[in-house]
Amino acid sequence: KGCKLVGCGSAVPTLEISNDELAKIVDTSDEWISLRTGIRKRRLLSGGENLTGLAVEAAGKALRMAKVEPDDVDLILMCTSTPDDLFGSAPQISKQLGCRTNPLAYDITAACSGFMLGLISAACHIRGGGFHNVLVIGADAVSRYVDWTDRGTCILFGDAAGAVLIQSCNSEEDGLFGFDLHSDGDGQRHLNAAIKENEANSAVDTNGCVLDFPPRQSSYSCIQMNGKEVFRFAVRSVPPSIESALEKAGLSISNIDWLLLHQANQRIIDAVASRLEVPSERVISNLANYGNTNAASIPLALDEAVQSGKVKAGQTIAASGFGAGLTWGSAIFRW
């Protein structure tokens, strides 16, 4: 059985923050951020906005492009590491989209690789599980876990959502040609937002006796990152992953119309493209306007490239995500 991408959409918050505005809260400059990362501005959730709302907006656009009704969706995969509800937000997205048939809906947590994991999971559900219309959403609000006093990390991230609709088809129409996925827990020390176990304010019972088992109040720490190690990991791991996905697809890099990488840093994108000998005109990049939007970055950049007419129907894309976990993975697909 085949599967193909038939719709895409994206959504970003209204509040836009430029590098100059960030330079008012940490010791940095537009020049430093632009030169080291390629980022000029980013969008951040504010006011009454939430991540579920962004995800619903992106998913709704993908459904309209695909001309598929919410009731015909039978699986929703919400790829996020920063959900509105720690217990999972995909069922809420289903409800807000108006899917009256209650499709299976669950979250996938794999940081910046989340969307790639979602895409491959969707294909496996279609090929092995009998699903027909699968919404894959990549959405994150990393601003929730950024230390706004740390100039090494707060300049990098933005909030956004992107979505694609994957549909079952016959094998001749199959549009997902090959993939390659990895993880390495050893690298977690280079990039994480780990749990903090704090003792609760009250460690005494109602009689004032000290409890044997003081209750805990947990929270997550802000993002801890060794930027140089993450940079090295990405440049070292992504090219072989794309080559492996290409090999499984029986293709070579010259068969690829577009290289679409997780939008973390323009220097990472340039280094990977250079190693793969892909000219810059065939590389999709929009991180100047949005920063690193974690699991949203690949579907957001795809949607912009499709809407602008850059990516055309029938073209082949090599996409790769990489990030915390560590996790990384690539897929070769037809738009």
Residues that bind ligand ACO (CB under 6 A): 28, 32-33, 36-37, 111-112, 151-152, 155-156, 191, 225, 227-228, 230-231, 264-265, 292, 294, 323-324
Rg over alpha carbons for the chain, rounded to the nearest Å, is: 20
Contacts 24+ apart (CB under 8 A), 24-31: 25/148, 25/149, 25/154, 26/148, 26/149, 26/150, 26/151, 26/154, 26/155, 27/151, 28/151, 28/155
- Which one of the listed residues 19, 133, 265, 292 is annotated catalytic? 292
Q: How far is the CB of 239 from ligand ACO (least distance, A)?
A: 16
Q: Based on the residue annotation, tell me whether 112 is a catalytic residue of this protein.
A: yes
Q: How far is the CB of 136 from ligand ACO (least distance, A)?
A: 18
Q: How far is the CB of 134 from ligand ACO (least distance, A)?
A: 24
Q: Toward ligand ACO, which CB reaches closer, 264 or 300?
A: 264
Q: Based on the residue annotation, tell me whether 132 is a catalytic residue of this protein.
A: no
List all residues 6 or more positions away from 113 whose beta carbon is below 8 Å from its beta carbon: 181, 262, 295, 321, 322, 323, 325, 327, 328, 329
Q: Which residue is nearest to ligand ACO (CB)?
A: 227
Q: Toward ligand ACO, which CB reaches closer, 97 or 302?
A: 302
Lookup: tokens for 190: 């280079």
CA dihedral 202, 203, 206, 208 (to 10 degrees): -110
- Which one of the listed residues 8, 133, 190, 262 is annotated catalytic? 262
Q: How far is the CB of 20 from ligand ACO (least distance, A)?
A: 12
Q: How far is the CB of 34 from ligand ACO (least distance, A)?
A: 11
Q: How far is the CB of 152 from ligand ACO (least distance, A)?
A: 4
269 phi and psi angles, rounded to 5 deg: -60, -45
Please, are residues 126 and 132 in contact by the beta-carbon 8 Å criterion? yes
Q: Toward ligand ACO, which CB reaches closer, 65 or 261?
A: 261
Q: Toward ligand ACO, which CB reaches closer, 12 or 66?
A: 12
Measured distance CA(202)–CA(215) in Å, rounded: 8
Q: Toward ligand ACO, which CB reaches closer, 2 or 227?
A: 227
Q: Toward ligand ACO, which CB reaches closer, 290 or 335?
A: 290
- Which one of the listed residues 112, 154, 265, 294 is annotated catalytic? 112
List all residues 6 or more positions away from 99 whose beta carbon is below 8 Å from its beta carbon: 70, 71, 73, 76
Q: Based on the residue annotation, tell me whether 182 is a catalytic residue of this protein.
A: no
Catalytic residue IDs: 112, 262, 292
